[in-house]
Structure 1
Amino acid sequence: MTKVKLSLMMFLEFFIWGGWAVTVTSWVSQTLHFNGVQTGLIAGATAIGAVLSPFLAGWVADNLMPAQYMLALLHLVGGVLLYMASLQTSFGPLYGLILAYAVLYMPTLGLVNAISFRQINDPKTEFAPIRVLGTIGWICAGLFISFVLHGETTSLPLKMSAAASIVLAVFSLMLPHTPPQVSEPFRVGNLFPMEVRRMFRDKSFVVFAAASFLICIPLQFYYAFTNPFLVQAGVANSASKMSLGQVSETLCMLLIPFFFRRLGVKWMLVAGMAAWVIRYGFFAYGDAHAGVWLLLAGILIHGICYDFFFVTGQIYTDRKAPAAYRGAAQGLIMLITYGIGMLVGSWLSGLVVDKYATVLADGSAAHNWRAIWLVASGLSAVVLILFVSVFKDDEDDEPNTTATTPLMVDAEPALVPEGSI
């Protein structure tokens, strides 16, 4: 029953995100006529939310409030804010509400991971089947938007996600009790616990964190502009077609334990980054007619793009973190990836899209999408080459790569040798 509840929690968590984040950029760019930078800022609100909030939420979950109560509170208030955002038509008020909502929503991604990891025995084998329900939730949101709401360029998806957020707030009160494991007074330093900061004495973790930051810069091109790209290219039911990526994500999620045993951490991460290079190349040369297979192929490799890098990274972080501070450690990775990385990516992607924007004879907007996607592919390739060159994880050399062996972090610095990688 516990795993069923955790799975339903994941379903609702990602149904909410998939319901509004995929199509909000099409709504603001195609219907409200925001420019590329404004559209990028709307998509990047989640990045600012991730920068401002996950460590605070991690501290509360680790020290003060049971994680399931924190999850309920954030989704209750967030649902109200998201509904209010759906009623706006000008950039200022809409951006302010989306930003406030993002500050509340982004910590919940770390919270659902922390709750799951606390309630299972072996994250490497048990987490993926639970997390896969989140992917299914994202798929269901896209299908509902395309075939029930018919609302790719409307505010209806935001209203749908607002309602789902209220539902999850109520359901969170029924989740397994996940109390704090430590008790420390609130100080600024406690948002960045010493035990978590010491993880950066491990050079392999430093390289992983840097790669996570860098790959999220080109990643934001996908999250912010794929749906407007498909709509502008004339692809029908774009939200449902984008959900094909989550179909592949579902399969890849279930295959993670298998590939962990055979590839290890490094080559799982490499495969994920390489998939981004290939995907953007497909987008650059695809179209809605003879080249539509390239667009669909680029969407279908999302499972490798996301699972092999980000889910692997979450498991890797859980393995490296001290048991009592895993909530804060997940918040750290959320800050680096969905926070700083995507914040930079939202700004850069908006600039690139505006640079390649044109106005057609009839006054409608158009873009040189090939150039845009080649920029994103090139950035991904640079990160991939750097990562392959310098990353090494000692556990990949062991016969059993599925063993969970967290990095020993203690008061004695000698437990984490300065030269270890």
Structure 2
Amino acid sequence: MAAKRKPCPPLGQRLRCASFREAGSKKRLVKRPETTQTNSQMNSSIRIKLSIMMFLQFFVWGAWFTTLGLSLASNGLSDIIGAAFQAVPVAAMIAPLFLGLISDRFFNCEKTMGVLHIIGGVLLFSAPSLIANGQGGALSWIIMIHMLCYMPTLALSNTVAFTNIDDRNKFPALRVWGTIGWIVAGLIVGGLGMSSSPKIFTLGAVSGIVLGVFCFFMPKTPPPGKGKPVNLSTILMLDAFKMLCNVPFLIFIICSAMICVPLAYYFAYTSVYLPQIGFQAPASTMALGQVSEIFFMLLVPFFFRKLGVKIMILIGMLAWVARYA
């Protein structure tokens, strides 16, 4: 006996059920976007760019600054060694007064950084010819203007890095590439026998222009002060001077200033002294001094958690005393 067939549901119900089944099958067929994988790839790409930026940032400086004193002394310009090295602190004080107002409010950090590096690189190209012609005064001004372009990029590179990482504890792993860049620059200069040659400026110029172009491919980093009212006291760093009323901060500033005194002598005259005691590649020899910095830079997050800021800074200052004593 044939089984009884179930009565067919009404047409409207059949259509609704069919549409639900079709929609359900489409939902099952739709492939969910792999957001986690995409974000991971993006973060990896940004991290690589930031690492290259840090590497070149300190490669540019280390290429010519480490043996600047030896290069000048070997080419009859010993009398301007002091003037050449004083460009660094002077530029560090002056540059924020006019560049801080512009870069912090009107232009993206990576673009400002790119323009400054290109200008600084072009200026360094003129240094070898000035040395060859014995124009020490003009060379001093070229170094000063170059440092006025370079010093703001130290802060800008940090801003670009911190803006584009999701965890501030990852910054030491990026910053360590700057130390590696400084070391590699010294090894190249020493290995090629350029420690006393004006060619150190050419190496710095080329790497500076390369970094300047590379900056335009960095992640967009809006100016941190965009849309904020102009505060003259901030531009003139008056707020920082007010902090000197805080005794612990005042002690920190005094200790930092005292530590920088032997540092200035170290970079100005160590490269001149090393060849006299038998070292043939002063740039490479001096670059070895930064090797320990790689190890301790990576340990900064650990020391922050275990020791705290004050103890960590104290140990760091004592290490500087031991190094330059």
TM-score relative to the length of structure 2: 0.79
Identify the match of residue 59 of structure 1 among 78, 90, 101.
Answer: 101
8 Å contact from structure 2 (residues 121, 205) kept in 1 = yes
Instruction: For 1:93 and 1:7, locate their aligned partners in 2 and report how far apart those are by CA, in whole Å.
Output: 35
Question: Residue 34 of structure 1: CA displacement?
Answer: 1.2
Question: Residue 277 of structure 1: CA displacement?
Answer: 2.2
Gaps of 5+ in 2: 1-44
Deviates more, 1:186-195 or 1:161-170: 186-195
Structure 2 counterpart of 1:215, which letter?
Answer: I
Q: Tell me the equivalent position of 2:276.
A: 232
Question: Residue 218 of structure 1: CA displacement?
Answer: 2.4
Identify the match of residue 191 of structure 2 among 139, 147, 150.
Answer: 147
Identify the match of residue 5 of structure 1 among 27, 31, 49.
Answer: 49
Superposition map of 1:322-361 within 5 A = none
Instruction: For 2:160 and 2:278, locate their aligned partners in 1 and report how far apart those are by CA, in whole Å.
Output: 42
Q: Tell me the equivalent position of 1:156.
A: 199
Deviation per residue, 1:7-29 (Å, 9 max, x gap): 11100000000001001110101
Instruction: For 1:198 and 1:92, locate their aligned partners in 2 and report how far apart those are by CA, in whole Å.
Output: 37
User: How has the CA–CA distance of structure 1 residues 244 and 27 changed in structure 2, closer, same or farther, with 3 Å as cutoff?
Assistant: same
Is residue 102 of structure 1 aligned with residue 143 of structure 2?
no
Matched positions, count: 277
Is residue 117 of structure 1 aligned with residue 159 of structure 2?
no
**Which secondary structure state, in structure 2, belongs to the residue aligned with residue 64 of structure 1?**
coil
Question: Residue 201 of structure 1: CA displacement?
Answer: 6.0
Q: Tell me the equivalent position of 2:220.
A: 177
Identify the match of residue 292 of structure 2 among 248, 258, 265.
Answer: 248
8 Å contact from structure 2 (residues 113, 156) kept in 1 = yes
User: How has the CA–CA distance of structure 1 residues 243 and 168 changed in structure 2, closer, same or farther, with 3 Å as cutoff?
Assistant: same
Question: Residue 249 of structure 1: CA displacement?
Answer: 1.2
Instruction: For 1:137 and 1:222, locate their aligned partners in 2 and report how far apart those are by CA, in whole Å.
Output: 20
Q: Tell me the equivalent position of 1:39.
A: 81
Instruction: For 1:84 and 1:147, locate their aligned partners in 2 and report how far apart those are by CA, in whole Å.
Output: 24
8 Å contact from structure 1 (residues 75, 166) kept in 2 = yes
Deviation per residue, 1:124-163 (Å, 9 max, x gap): x211000001111111111111113x11111111100100
Gaps of 5+ in 1: 282-421
Question: Residue 122 of structure 1: CA displacement?
Answer: 3.1
Q: Tell me the equivalent position of 2:263.
A: 219
Q: Tell me the equivalent position of 2:24.
A: none
8 Å contact from structure 2 (residues 108, 220) kept in 1 = yes
**Which secondary structure state, in structure 2, belongs to the residue aligned with residue 107 of structure 1?**
helix
Deviation per residue, 1:64-115 (Å, 9 max, x gap): 1111011011011100111112221231111111111111111111111121
Structure 1 counterpart of 2:127, which letter?
Answer: A
**Which secondary structure state, in structure 2, belongs to the residue aligned with residue 181 of structure 1?**
coil
Superposition map of 1:198-347 within 5 A = 202-281=246-325
Q: Tell me the equivalent position of 1:86.
A: 128
Larger Rg computed on CA atoms: 2
Question: Residue 198 of structure 1: CA displacement?
Answer: 6.1
- How large is the RMSD of aligned CA atoms in angstroms? 2.0
State, as a whole percentage, how many aligned pairs show the same letter. Answer: 38
Q: Tell me the equivalent position of 1:332.
A: none
Deviation per residue, 1:236-263 (Å, 9 max, x gap): 2111111112221111111111222222
TM-score relative to the length of structure 1: 0.62
